[in-house]
Amino acid sequence: MSLADAPLGHDVPYPDQYDASLLFPIERAANRAALGVSAPLPFVGDDIWNAYELSWLDARGKPQVAIGRFTVPADTPRIVESKSFKLYLNSLNQTRLPDAAAYAERVERDVSAAAGGPVRLTLIPPDRFGQARISELEGELLDGQDIEIRHYTPAPELLRCETGAPIVEETLRSDLLKSNCPVTNQPDWGSVQIRYRGPKLDRAALLAYIVSFRQHAEFHEHCVERIFMDVMAACQPQALSVYARYTRRGGLDINPWRATPGMPAPDLTMRTARQ
């Protein structure tokens, strides 16, 4: 199947019966090949999907609700197209299940089959909703740089190290990341954190590069991998982590991170104010 066969960008009826076949997988390989990425992968990481509209029925027909955090490893061969994911989750709204564990087991099984690898689902019940932590990504904000922007499609040639760059270890962030859905061209708004150890990056150049995604059409996961590979190629840091948190659409937000092996995982449990 091609992306043209996906439900994204088409009018489709919302299901009222459980249907795992609604999940539409997309191979990662084609995008990675365009970036020069092949096995073994030069990065580790996960795609974190937060689902805010989970519901099912208990054994007596009473609705249950939860927030779900899906962890999809970066080494799974496929991602799941987001509209198909939403349709699938909604197909469980009228499904009777004995308890939350049974719901999680079924959904983990179906999504893992679509992704081609083990996907973990953490359910957050209503009595824990108030524990959700809203904060911003750690790091020094780049967005105050006084720069002129000339590029609105990815321009890796903008990236450079400072002249005579010393080796530094720092964390930088921006709230100016925007790309577009490759099917509908709707805007995807996000924040990005770049943590690295290596020659000091030129901050104005880095911000101009981040903004250059503004008219680029690519899925969230692919954008993060592109940023990772471009920064690695430009300055060859000894260690690098790229983490993006995208705003919610259709009850889902997607938050990919990619890092060189050995880099600690970022905080994957928080969400930003815009999310």
**111-149 burial code (b ≥16 CB/10 A, e <16):** bbebbeeebebebbeeeeeeeeeeebbebeebeebeeee
Residue-level length of the chain: 275
Whether 250 has a binding-site annotation, put simply, is yes
- Which of 126-131's residues contact partners 24+ apart within 8 Å by CB, and which partners? 126/65, 126/66, 129/67
Crossing angle of the two packed helices 100-115 and 82-90, in degrees rounded to 10 = 150
Q: For the chain, how are helix, strand and coil distributed in percent, rounded to 5?
A: 25, 30, 40
Whether 249 has a binding-site annotation, put simply, is yes
Whether 81 has a binding-site annotation, put simply, is yes
Whether 61 has a binding-site annotation, put simply, is no
Nearest to 43 by CA among 188, 191, 196: 196
Whether 220 has a binding-site annotation, put simply, is yes
Whether 214 has a binding-site annotation, put simply, is no
Nearest to 255 by CA among 232, 233, 275, 226: 275
Cβ contact 116:76 at 8 Å? yes
Whether 183 has a binding-site annotation, put simply, is no
197 vs 104: CA distance, rounded Å: 38
> How far is CA 100 from each of CA 54, 68, 123, 217, rounded to the nearest angstrom?
11, 11, 8, 37
Positions marked active-site: 181, 188
Binding residues for substrate: 80-82, 220-221
Binding residues: 80-83, 220-221, 249-250
Binding residues for NADPH: 82-83, 249-250
